[in-house]
């Protein structure tokens, strides 16, 4: 690294992640970290790094040649990527690795974002409605449906969907009063994985009333809603999970009906955000950033030394 001279302002040395494992396992780890990157960003990866590992020989001189001729050579160097929050993605991969279902949930949501996504900042209420509510193009209906199916399937992988049936209905009446048995079952599963079932969730609803109404309609606007351009609704977490299943069950999972044509980017975003919150929470990383991990590591080192 001495050949590059001193670092400029704001620059730091690069970091290389080395995985000691068999080829298939190493590739699975690398791909899981890349998928976790996408879930953390809430938007598809624009900088594609290497999707597979390659072997580093034990011989020191061969290693030196690789570092000199590959890592510093145009055409190869671009295969590597850097993200400020990558340590969080690594932590997510570590926490998910023992549970295959969480691994699949991360991959499914990552692929969902790659299928259709809007930038998280564009959903901020100060921007109101940015995107068209829906499209008249058939291929867009299919793409939105695939994205919703993938995001909801990620929720199912975590076993955090609403479980109801004809014998055990979700609602007690036409006012959408929760069946206490069904609701308690969902809340207990959320609680077991460390997620507060009493948490609320802002469901994005923007512009004129042309979107699909989600049953039950609770008529509880978010604190920042103006009731016109920004009509975001505050759901309980169980209601938000139900809303995801409502879209999947009645709009996207089977043959399309007329209502499917009214799906759009905001419906996709809402289901993605519910799945994203559940994944981050189940991995213990909701609202956790690189600086938080660094502080935790520094505290751990101090405890170890003492």
0.75 exceeded by the pTM? yes
Rounded to whole angstroms, the Cα distance separating 97 from 106 reads 11
Which alpha helices (H) appear in 169-256, and where do they start and end?
A: 180-192, 237-247
Is residue 262 within 8 Å of residue 71, measured between CB atoms?
no
Domain ranges of the chain: 2-97, 100-282
Each residue's pLDDT, cut to its tens digit, for the chain (306 residues) gives 566 667 777 666 667 777 788 889 988 998 999 999 999 999 987 665 556 666 777 888 887 777 776 666 665 566 666 778 889 999 999 999 999 999 999 999 999 999 999 999 999 999 999 999 999 999 999 999 999 999 999 999 999 999 999 999 999 998 889 999 999 999 999 999 999 999 999 999 998 888 888 777 776 889 899 988 999 999 999 999 999 999 999 999 999 988 899 999 999 999 999 999 999 999 999 999 888 888 888 887 778 777
Beta bridge partners of 192: none
φ, ψ for residue 32 (rounded to 5)? -70, -40
Instruction: Specify the pLDDT at position 76.
Output: 59
Rounded to whole angstroms, the Cα distance separating 223 from 173 reads 28
CB atoms within 10 A of CB 75: 7
Of 127, 123, 161, the closest CA to residue 249 belongs to 161
274 CB-contact burial (10 Å; exposed 0-12 / middle 13-18 / buried 19+): buried
Which residues contact residue 136 at a Cβ distance below 8 angstroms, ignoring those fewer than 6 apart? 261
Rounded to whole angstroms, the Cα distance separating 17 from 78 reads 15
Rounded to whole angstroms, the Cα distance separating 194 from 283 reads 9
Is residue 111 within 8 Å of residue 305, measured between CB atoms?
no
């Amino acid at each position: 690294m001495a050949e590059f001279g001193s670092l400029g302002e704001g620059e730091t040395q690069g970091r290389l992640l080395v995985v000691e494992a068999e080829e298939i396992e190493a590739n699975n780890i690398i791909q899981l970290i890349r998928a976790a990157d996408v879930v953390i960003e809430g938007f598809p990866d624009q900088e594609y790094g290497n999707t597979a590992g390659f072997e580093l020989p034990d011989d020191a001189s061969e290693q030196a040649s690789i570092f000199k001729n590959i890592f510093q050579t145009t055409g190869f160097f671009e295969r590597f990527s850097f993200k400020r929050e990558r340590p969080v993605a690594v932590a997510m991969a570590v926490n998910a690795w023992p549970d295959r279902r969480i691994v699949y949930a991360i991959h499914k949501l990552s692929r969902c974002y790659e299928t259709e996504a809007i930038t998280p900042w564009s959903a901020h209420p100060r921007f109101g409605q940015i995107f068209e509510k829906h499209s008249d193009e058939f291929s867009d209906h299919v793409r939105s449906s695939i994205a919703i199916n993938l995001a909801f399937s990620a929720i199912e992988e975590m076993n955090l969907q609403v479980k109801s049936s004809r014998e055990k209905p979700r609602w007690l009446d036409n006012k959408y009063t929760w069946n206490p048995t069904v609701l308690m079952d969902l809340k207990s599963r959320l609680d077991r994985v460390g997620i507060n079932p009493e948490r609320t969730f802002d469901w994005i609803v923007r512009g004129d009333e042309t979107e699909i109404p989600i049953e039950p309609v609770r008529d509880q606007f978010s604190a920042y809603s103006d009731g016109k351009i920004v009509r975001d609704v505050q759901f309980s977490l169980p209601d938000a999970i139900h809303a995801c299943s409502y879209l999947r069950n009645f709009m996207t999972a089977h043959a399309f009906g007329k209502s499917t044509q009214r799906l759009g980017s905001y419906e996709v975003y809402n289901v993605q955000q519910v799945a994203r919150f559940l994944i981050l929470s189940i991995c213990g990383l909701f609202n956790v950033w690189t600086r938080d991990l660094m502080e935790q590591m520094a505290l751990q080192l101090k405890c170890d030394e003492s």
